[in-house]
Amino acid sequence: MTAPRAGSDANSSIELRNVVVTAPTSQDDATILHPTSLTLDERRIAIIGGNGSGKSTLARLINGLVEPSAGGVNVELRGGSTSRSLDTRRDGAAVRRAVGFVFTDPSAQLIMPTVVEDVSLSLRRSHRDAAARRAAVLATLERFGLQDLADHSVHTLSGGQKQLLAIASVLATDPAILVADEPTTLLDLRNARMIGDLLMSLPQQVIIVTHDLELAARTDRAIVIDGGRVVFDGDPAAAIAQYRNAASQ
């Protein structure tokens, strides 16, 4: 697999301002994420925590898949002398163009019959001309080492190939930020390392929700979530130690 071509040159950061997320229940609203304020501007950030801790909710706030019940989330894009601030509520469509999202199970986002058609679907807005769009699709597949699978059914791909295709389809639109929600959970060790290496090599800001502590250790900053609260935020090695200690009790 060849290294991906450089993407957007824009710097980016995400600001969560006293964000709360609740969900209605039969008796009362349940709090999924308690008041949280964060500024995320490192190139590589891991979010770790147990199942049901609220880490995926935090990740989905970043591109508007989840809207805050209170507070606000802003995505700041900076390039050269220009700066643009996007609110995930007000500017939802623009936020989703700027922030790509990769799901745990790639089958959730691979919806077209073949590899080439799936990437083509991602580029239908930016490349209206069919010939130009196909050229861009083939260039994307080559960047990610998928060119020999262009006409294969997505259902015949291995787990690693499916996750790679899901990432390629998102990155084809050149977002400034990539959020990956447990991208290695369903993969064997070899494919998990391959996807981890890819995520670490990208020019985009990358935020990874993960149980893969080896992958989390490679980031610049790690946030530990427990019970819908940030219980640690800082050095990845210290975050992992704190998470392991809490899990052992």
- What tens digit of pLDDT does each residue of 203-247 get? 999 999 999 999 999 999 999 999 999 999 999 999 999 999 988
What is the rounded CA–CA span in Å between residue 162 and residue 71? Answer: 36
End-to-end Cα, the chain, rounded Å? 42
Mean pLDDT of 165-179: 96
The CATH number given to 11-247 is: 3.40.50.300
Answer whether 2's CB lies under 8 Å from 146's CB: no
Q: How many CA atoms lie within 13 A of 248 on its CB side?
A: 6
Answer whether 15's CB lies under 8 Å from 31's CB: no
Q: Is 58 exposed, middle or buried (0-12, 13-18, 19+ CB in 10 A)?
A: buried
Backbone phi and psi for residue 72, each to the nearest 5 degrees, phi listed first = -150, 160
Tell me the two tokens of residue 90: 């007000």
Please state which of the ranges 52-56, 127-131, 144-148 shows the lowest mean pLDDT: 127-131
For 112, 119, 136, 228, the CA distances from 69, given in Å and listed in that order, are 34, 34, 39, 14
Q: Tell me, what's the pLDDT at 247?
A: 85
Q: Tell me, what's the pLDDT at 249?
A: 81
Mean pLDDT of 168-177: 95
Task: Tell whether pTM > 0.85.
Answer: yes
Domain boundaries, the chain: 11-247
Give yes or no for residue 8 having a pLDDT over 60.
no
Mean pLDDT of 179-202: 95
Q: Tell me, what's the pLDDT at 1?
A: 42
